[in-house]
Amino acid sequence: SCACHPARPLESKVTEPAKPKYSVTAEERELLARLVFCEANTESIECQRAVVSVVFNQLDAGKWGNTVTEVIYYRNNFTPAVFGLLDTAEPTPTNYEVVDYVIQNGSSLPTYVRYFRSGYHHQWKGYEGYCIIDDVYFGFFTDWELGVW
């Protein structure tokens, strides 16, 4: 230490953990993990995060419902919900980690990307592809009103 400036102990700053981007119930977290398991379990973590992001992008848009559950079960929105597959899905630890990551950090996609499907982009009027992650195609509608039915 210097003679004119005695050494001071380093100040330790206690930082609060960042507030999660989204607030969900335990049941909604479970439902999201089951959806990811059904829709993208064999895909990369990046792809699984994008699937969860679509749910939150739809929730934020307010056209599919006001809760995660309403969005997932919105008429014909997610195939596993339509066919009752979510009830028997058994999510992996990775599925829960992916859900928790998006809950904490927010959507990994732009807010206007609200659709996905495996294998190819939708052929709907006004639909545009945004990206392909693994074998899942993500996109949006250029005219917002075309995308909600």
- The average confidence (pLDDT) of the chain is 88
Taking alpha carbons only, the member of 64, 29, 52 closest to residue 108 is 52
31 backbone dihedrals φ, ψ, rounded to 5°: -65, -40
Question: For the residues 97-118, what does the mean pLDDT come to?
Answer: 96
Tens digits of per-residue pLDDT, 78-107? 999 999 999 999 999 999 999 999 999 999
Taking alpha carbons only, the member of 86, 106, 74 closest to residue 41 is 86
% of the chain at pLDDT higher than 90: 74
Please tell me the total number of residues recorded for the chain in this structure: 149
Cα(76)–Cα(133) distance, rounded to whole angstroms? Answer: 23
What pTM did the predictor assign?
0.85
SS3 letters across 102-137? HHHHCCCCCCCCCEEEECCCCCCCCEEEEEEECCEE
Instruction: Tell me if residue 58 falls in helix, strand or coil.
Output: helix
